[in-house]
Copies of this chain bind each other. A is one copy, B any other.
Amino acid sequence: MPDISILTEADLRALVKLDLEAVDVVESAFRALASGEVIMPPILSMDIPAANGEVDVKTAYIPGFDGFAIKVSPGFFDNPKLGLPSLNGLMILFSAKTGLVEALLLDNGYLTDVRTAAAGAVAARHLAPESVTTAGVIGTGVQARLQIEAAHLVRPFERVLVWGRDAGNAKKCAADLAESLGIEARVETDPARLVGESQLVVTTTPSRAPVIRADWLHSGLHITAMGSDQPGKVEIDPAVFGRVDAYVPDRLSQCRTQGELRAAIEAGQVEVGTVFPELGEVIAGQAQGRKFASDITFADLTGTGAQDTAIATHAVALAVTAGAGSRIAS
């Protein structure tokens, strides 16, 4: 049987960049989702309360991709006390023709970071107004940085505003973005003013109460909310649903149970069973997202197995070209 390729986090960080190529690969996965031919089972999820831990398994088969990924994402939230990161995990790429293991991607969550940010760029590309001069980000973690860097690939804004609960973290995040993008980046202490001054806002928090209120919205705004990925999390005031011109989930079925849509349904702002076109349908031209420059648009990203298959395939293709990684007899 063929050898298995092993790629470590160091290999993958050297190979896979958050660039337009990664954005295009993730976009192709969303476009495939709209074709109805993607096979994406519900997420397998297991809580381990004894260790304050959880583990999720995602997968998807995308026609046209040579492989499919299975991603295992553990989150063990007492790890920082042990000097270890909370989030870890790996992806396994299988041949879509034979089911044989092709590659083990020991990324410790790095590829998830990249494909999540790339999805933000895809949403911005298809939903944000053509002209964005100021972007805002709510949150100050890894995704705050990566989402803004990804969005800048498709909407090269001149300025970014950062809001965070912790002033020091917000300052550090703004400094990092100023350096990585070479643009003006500053802390904004009032989230309402951040939204008011931005044409593109990304929320990146694990919040359990809304961080953006409906009365802050203004014409020509696009919001991407990517923080909510499980029941109980919410970043966007449910009243926002009644105020936007287009709400676009990454995967409707997932957003109903773990996205912003879940909270809006629970709050009675959205009827159970309401159908919204998905991001892939907007990309494929089967549905229209933004119609006018003055529209308000809202993308709800919960993260899909299709993105994992796309980024894992991309990573292995880059590794083959570069001759990177090690091999082991299967």
Contacts and interface: CB of A to CB of B under 8 A. Distances in A.
Interface of A: 1, 4, 6, 8-10, 39, 41-48, 50-51, 53, 55, 57, 59, 61, 63, 68, 70, 72, 74-76, 79, 82, 84, 88-90, 92, 94, 96-101, 104, 106, 108, 326, 328-330
Nearest to A42: B44
Q: How many copies of this chain sit in the oligomeric assembly?
A: 2
Contacts of A74: 94, 99-100
12 contacts: A6-B328, A41-B45, A46-B61, A51-B98, A55-B68, A72-B92, A75-B99, A84-B98, A88-B98, A90-B92, A90-B101, A106-B330
Between A82, A97, A99, the greatest number of chain B beta carbons within 10 A of the residue's beta carbon is seen for A99
Most chain B beta-carbon contacts within 10 A, residue among A44, A47, A326: A44
B99 A55 contact: yes
Contact of A44 (B41, B47, B68): B41
Given A108-B330, A328-B6, A330-B108, A88 B101 contact: yes
A170 to B, nearest CB: 28
A57 B305 CA distance: 14
A39 B44 contact: no
A95 to B, nearest CB: 8
B48 A61 contact: yes
Contact of A104 (B59, B61, B104): B104
Contacts of A59: 44, 46, 55, 57
Given A46-B41, A47-B39, A106-B328, A98 B82 contact: yes
Nearest to A4: B106
B70 A57 contact: yes
A57 B44 contact: yes
A48 B96 contact: yes
Nearest to A104: B104
Nearest to A85: B1
Given A1-B108, A74-B100, A88-B98, 9 more contacts: A6-B328, A51-B97, A55-B68, A57-B59, A57-B70, A84-B100, A88-B100, A90-B92, A104-B104
A75 B100 CA distance: 9
B96 A51 contact: yes
Nearest to A107: B330
A185 to B, nearest CB: 31
Contacts of A50: 63, 96
